[in-house]
Amino acid sequence: MNPVPLRIKKDQERRLLAGHLWIYSNEVDTDATPLKDLEPGQPVEVWGGRDRWLGLGYANPHSLICARLVTRRRGARLDETLIRERIATALALRERFYPEPCYRLVFGEADGLPGLVVDRYRGVLVLQLTTAGMERLREPILAALDALLKPDAVLLRNDIPVRELEGLPQAVEVIRGEIPEWIEIRENGVRFLVSPRDGQKTGWFYDQADNRARLRRYVAGQRVLDVCSYLGGWGVSAALWGAREVVCLDASGAALAGVEENARLNGCETRVTTLKGDAFDLLKQLGEAGEQFDLVILDPPAFVKRRKDLEQGAEAYGRLNRLGLRLLTPGGILATSSCSFLLTREAFLRVVQKGARRNGQTLQWLESGQQGLDHPIHPAIAETAYLKTFYLRALPDI
């Protein structure tokens, strides 16, 4: 389908000229280019004031983000050639820094392909198409991946709520080959079995790999609590790296069965135990029982998914961290994370600090991190810098 014009209101293109890729519906000159005339996913040429060319992208008149730029090159087309070029560029970054083919291969806007996520598990690729524009480009995307990687199997994990905002159905679909129930990956030298078909998200949280690597220096001889452990990315790593005892806590029995299997896989099963239940409830119970740990890891799901949830979500992070801090021995370490991009790094740290003060604790900020190199950040799009992790030392008030 040939692109059609989409005109931005006068003086509304500043953000796009600064590098952003999103266009909101209230920024469109709907008198000149009515949104109602567009189809979901339709290619559009974006124009600013005084007929300034801004780029080529795709539109969805039913979404608040009604268009996304894909390229600023005049004469380019939204086709397999462009997609293959972008994926090849993304692949070059990953191959430079990752010795094994286990990583996020494409991270949406930051890799120049807004609305596309591709995770690589050796010969298996797991895709998420989150926008109508990428849904329309499904076949060119698959062709480009086949040409570059020749994968053994391809799985679409389009079972994500964000697709509903684009008017798209949720589904899981095997595109090619057979998807194994379990695939072994290696992260920071630790072996893990993950399930791309049935696991959370696409099966694994690659974004925390660098933050988990920092764990190695803190764990030798320590008693460790891993809260919201999933398959034991933090906890099993801690056990393999010398922790004397690790307790992994999660609400999912299937996830905890995965923890136990991954502990056996790494030969550290005698030092890993599991607790099933709600994180808040179990943290409270552990505190009431007088349990203490040298290191507490908090890696919960996002508590803030919409701006209107910011206050309530911040309170949830505060409560979780306050409960976790109470379980620390004097001088113990808290490794705490938030993947809610609406809660800024500074605000998250304030929330944790407030919890410590309520507990009568003083914090020392030791180090911090963000998502790994396979989740690059687009400097003009704050939403791509979503993950923050702090390593903090907790001391009694002096």
Domains contained in the chain, CATH given: 4-71 (2.30.130.10), 80-176 (3.30.750.80), 183-396 (3.40.50.150)
Q: Which residues contact 347 (CB under 8 A, 6 or more apart)?
A: 314
For the whole model, what pTM was predicted?
Answer: 0.95
Long-range CB contact pairs, 188-192, < 8 A, 24+: 188/212, 188/213, 188/216, 188/237, 190/236, 190/237, 190/240, 190/266, 191/262, 191/265, 191/266, 192/231, 192/232, 192/233, 192/236, 192/262, 192/265
Q: 165, 61 in Cβ contact below 8 A? A: no
Q: Which of 102, 228, 268, 339 is catalytic?
A: 339
pLDDT value of residue 105: 98
pLDDT tens digits, the chain, 398 residues: what are they?
A: 789 999 999 889 999 999 999 999 999 999 999 999 999 999 999 999 889 999 999 999 999 999 999 999 999 999 999 999 999 999 999 999 999 999 999 999 999 999 999 999 999 999 999 999 999 999 999 999 999 999 999 999 999 999 998 999 999 999 999 999 999 999 999 999 999 999 999 999 999 999 999 999 999 999 999 999 999 999 999 999 999 999 999 999 999 999 999 999 999 999 999 999 999 999 999 999 999 999 999 999 999 999 999 999 999 999 999 999 999 999 999 999 999 999 999 999 999 999 999 999 999 999 999 999 999 999 999 999 999 999 999 999 87
Please name which of 253, 261, 254 lies closest in space to residue 235, comparing C-alpha atoms: 261
pLDDT value of residue 11: 86
Residue corresponding to tokens 């939403």: 383
Cα separation of 279 and 284, whole Å? Answer: 9
Burial of residue 218, with CB atoms counted within 10 A of its CB: 0-12 exposed, 13-18 middle, 19 or more buried: buried
Q: 49, 10 in Cβ contact below 8 A? A: yes
pLDDT value of residue 49: 86
pLDDT value of residue 156: 97
Q: Which residues contact 94 (CB under 8 A, 6 or more apart)?
A: 103, 104, 105, 120, 373, 374
- What string of H, E and C letters represents the secondary structure of 86-135? HHHHHHHHHHHHCCCCEEEEEEHHHHCCCCEEEEEECCEEEEEECCHHHH
Burial of residue 12, with CB atoms counted within 10 A of its CB: 0-12 exposed, 13-18 middle, 19 or more buried: middle
Residue 102 designated active-site: no
> What is the dihedral sign for C-alpha 190, 300, 21, 11?
negative
Residue-level length of the chain: 398
Cα separation of 194 and 237, whole Å? Answer: 15
pLDDT value of residue 7: 97
pLDDT value of residue 397: 83
DSSP β-bridge partners for residue 249? 227, 275
pLDDT value of residue 50: 87
Each residue of 258-295: b (16+ CB within 10 Å) or e? bbbbbbebbebbebbbbbeeebeebbeebeeeeebbbb
Query: What kind and span of H or E run contains 365?
Result: strand 361-369
Phi and psi (nearest 5°) for 356? -65, -40
Q: 384, 110 in Cβ contact below 8 A? A: yes
pLDDT value of residue 217: 97
